[in-house]
Amino acid sequence: MKWLFGKKNKETNVETLDSLLKELKASSDFIHFHYEQSPHGYWISYFQTLVESKILHRDILPYVNKETLKSLEKFKEVIPIEDVEITSDVKKIKNKILQGYVFIQLHEHDNEGLIIHAATHKNRQVSVPEVEFSVIGPKEAFVESVDTNLNLVRKRLPIPNLRIEEVRVGKLSKTRTYIMYVEGISNEENVNTLRQRVKGIDFDTITDSSFIAQMIEDNHNSPFPQLIDTERPDRVAAILAEGKVAILVDGSPHAIFGPTTITEFFSAFEDYFLSWHIASAFRLIRIFAVAFSILSTPIYVATITYHYELIPKDLLSTLITSRSNIPLPPFFEAVFLELTIELLREAGARLPTKVGQTIGIVGGIVIGTASVEAGLTSNILLIIVALAALASFTTPIYRMGNTIRLIRFPFLVLGAIWGFVGIVLAFSFLIAHLLKLTSLGRPYLEPIYPPRITDWKDAIIRLPYSYLGKRPVQLQTQDTVRFSEQHAKKKRDHISRKSDIDD
């Protein structure tokens, strides 16, 4: 069977230092040269593209003199860089050189040498979040450098219990992946599950955290994301304090975290910055938007095709007038419009920003009006489909928004076949699927099912902070108490002005 799968992609095994340097020299950006200072100099090797030349010229080369030339130990003492080591471990030397270390030998064929950290960091400045933008609240977003990202999180949680574990993932990319959790709060079972799954990943290159999210999710065949991705360091800090576990991946401006529930996908982080009534109202609007987005077109098709008796007389005449010239059956009319909207969305997402806006106007206004005038679609359906598309964009998590748009189509098909009966069937399939889903082994539909009343405080609505004293039951945290609710209540009573009714 071996011939079938080809040779196993083994890493080339370098045994000696000489052969390592020879292999590395095959790349044109690898520098291996003799730095001459009488009587003999050093042999210096590094990747030009990985090393910060400033460090090399300021902190390393000036210290080459008669004294330091005597031995590597002397040199190590003198240079002002901390991360310096003398080693003869070939494998280690290889890894370090590939990470941007400078390797220095006393003589050309020496077996040991000095590895000095001089890696360059080219990255974007921390900027404003674009996907999860909030009007009020912090405006920092993660960037591609994981060190910066870790710093952004850690400075918000200055506690020794914040654990950060490094795992290298990807056979070729060896991507630095960090599992973050707060020891003493988060459930160890969750951490272990996540750690095991991350370590179990067998893949060549990990480009982004979404790769890892897809590989470690409980059910790969579900259209629903089971881990949330976020670009907000403040959100990561908050969920860590809540007892969840986060993963940061080098090269990705998105952190992922879990375990999560479906309601969390419809809560924007801005909800916590607004007063609780407003936040709860917004969340309800979002839930309504999801229901509307999934159900409106299928209900239209089902009603017009089978159940027009449902509609009261006055409304029916409006509907009939708008549909009287349309040659297509409602199902095809709806599919045509839905596909148009999806085309516009996809084109808008692929095109550069400025062209995208033009396309939006052309598509939205010109095509919409033209297709109604041409008698291809009815006005009312156009309104419904546009509203449904708009509603699907209210979902704060991008990946969930995509899912919402996709699952509308099975509803549409079943609604066209069996009317309302078909829609309820599709709905039952959806519920059954959600019931079976888990996020890191924890039920996905919680707190709706299993019904846990205490977790309703921050699910579909958000109660005032003084009621959020307990961590979610869902997470089974080691430390369940965030703060004393009684104490908070006393303080609040103290602040708020008392009525004089009993005086």
Partner 1 sequence: MKVQVNDQNKISPNLVFFLIHAVQVGVGILGFQRYIAEKAGYDAWISVLLAGIGGSIIIKIMYSMLLKEEGDLIEIHRTAFGNTIGNILSVLFLIYYFMMALAVLRTYIEVVQVWMFPQLSIFPYAFAFLGLVYYIVAGGIRTVTGIAFMGVVFPLYLILTIVFPLRYADFGDLLPIFSHAPIDILAGVKSTTLSYLGFTTLLMYFPFINDKRKSHIWAQLGFQFTTILYLLVAVVTFAFFSKEQLATTIWPTLTMFKIVEMPFVERFEYIGISSWALIILPNVCISVWAFSRGLKRVFHMQQYTGLKISIIALFILMLPFKDRQAIDQLNNYVSTIGFYVLYAYIPCLAVVYHVVRKVRDKHEA
| CA distance linking residue 271 with residue 256, whole number of Å | 19
Q: Of the two residues 14 and 430, which places its CB atom closer to partner 1 in the complex?
A: 430
327 near partner 1, rule: CB under 8 A: no
| Residue showing tokens 């599919």 | 335
The torsion angles phi and psi of 396, rounded to 5 degrees, stand at -65, -30
DSSP string covering 375-402, please?
TSS-HHHHHHHHHHHHHHTT-SSHHHHH
Q: Which stretch binds partner 1 (CB under 8 A): 97-105, 120-128, 202-210, 309-317?
A: 309-317
* Helix, strand, coil % over all residues of the chain, rounded to 5: 50, 15, 40
Q: Which 439-468 residues touch partner 1, going by CB under 8 A?
A: 445, 449-451
Q: Which of 98, 172, 424, 481 is in the footprint of partner 1 by CB under 8 A? A: 424
Q: Of the two residues 157 and 413, which places its CB atom closer to partner 1 in the complex?
A: 413
Q: How far is the CB of 13 from partner 1 (least distance, A)?
A: 44
Which run of H or of E encompasses 408? helix 398-436
| CA distance linking residue 464 with residue 436, whole number of Å | 32
| Backbone φ/ψ region at 476: left (φ over 0), alpha (ψ -120 to 50), beta | left
428 near partner 1, rule: CB under 8 A: yes
306 near partner 1, rule: CB under 8 A: yes
315 near partner 1, rule: CB under 8 A: yes
Q: How far is the CB of 407 from partner 1 (least distance, A)?
A: 15
The torsion angles phi and psi of 481, rounded to 5 degrees, stand at -100, 125
473 near partner 1, rule: CB under 8 A: no
The torsion angles phi and psi of 458, rounded to 5 degrees, stand at -140, 60
Q: How far is the CB of 295 from partner 1 (least distance, A)?
A: 12
Q: How far is the CB of 343 from partner 1 (least distance, A)?
A: 30
425 near partner 1, rule: CB under 8 A: yes
312 near partner 1, rule: CB under 8 A: yes
Q: Of the two residues 429 and 456, which places its CB atom closer to partner 1 in the complex?
A: 429
Q: Are 214 and 191 in contact (CB under 8 A)?
A: no
Q: Which of 131, 386, 435, 473 is in the footprint of partner 1 by CB under 8 A? A: 435
Q: Which of 427, 456, 465, 467 is in the footprint of partner 1 by CB under 8 A? A: 427
291 near partner 1, rule: CB under 8 A: no
DSSP string covering 84-143, please?
EEEE--HHHHHHHHHTTEEEEESSTT-S-EEEEE-B----PPP---SSS--SSS------
Q: Which 367-386 residues touch partner 1, going by CB under 8 A?
A: none
329 near partner 1, rule: CB under 8 A: no
432 near partner 1, rule: CB under 8 A: yes
Q: Which of 310, 370, 383, 481 is in the footprint of partner 1 by CB under 8 A? A: 310
Q: How far is the CB of 420 from partner 1 (least distance, A)?
A: 4
Q: Which stretch binds partner 1 (CB under 8 A): 165-173, 184-192, 304-312, 335-343?
A: 304-312
- Count the helices and strands in the chain (H runs, E runs): 17, 12
| Residue showing tokens 């990202």 | 149
Q: How far is the CB of 427 from partner 1 (least distance, A)?
A: 8
Q: Which stretch binds partner 1 (CB under 8 A): 225-233, 365-373, 426-434, 477-485?
A: 426-434
211 near partner 1, rule: CB under 8 A: no
Q: How far is the CB of 432 from partner 1 (least distance, A)?
A: 5
Q: Of the two residues 429 and 465, which places its CB atom closer to partner 1 in the complex?
A: 429
Q: Which 404-423 residues touch partner 1, going by CB under 8 A?
A: 414, 417-421, 423
CA angle 265, 270, 275 (to 5 degrees): 115
| CA distance linking residue 93 with residue 169, whole number of Å | 20
Spatial neighbors of 458 by CB under 8 A, at least 6 apart, are 267, 468, 472
Q: Which of 273, 429, 456, 467 is in the footprint of partner 1 by CB under 8 A? A: 429
Q: Which of 440, 203, 394 is nearest to 289 (CA)?
A: 394
Q: Which of 119, 201, 238, 311 is in the footprint of partner 1 by CB under 8 A? A: 311
Considering CB under 8 A, how many residues would be counted as binding partner 1? Answer: 28
492 near partner 1, rule: CB under 8 A: no
Q: How far is the CB of 248 from partner 1 (least distance, A)?
A: 31
Q: How far is the CB of 430 from partner 1 (least distance, A)?
A: 10
Which run of H or of E encompasses 286? helix 276-305
Report H helices in 126-249: 146-154, 188-199, 209-216, 233-242
Q: Of the two residues 129 and 447, which places its CB atom closer to partner 1 in the complex?
A: 447
CA distances from 295 to 108, 116, 355, 476 (A): 73, 61, 32, 35
DSSP 462: B
Return residues touching partner 1 (CB under 8 A): 306-307, 309-312, 315, 414, 417-421, 423-425, 427-429, 431-433, 435-436, 445, 449-451
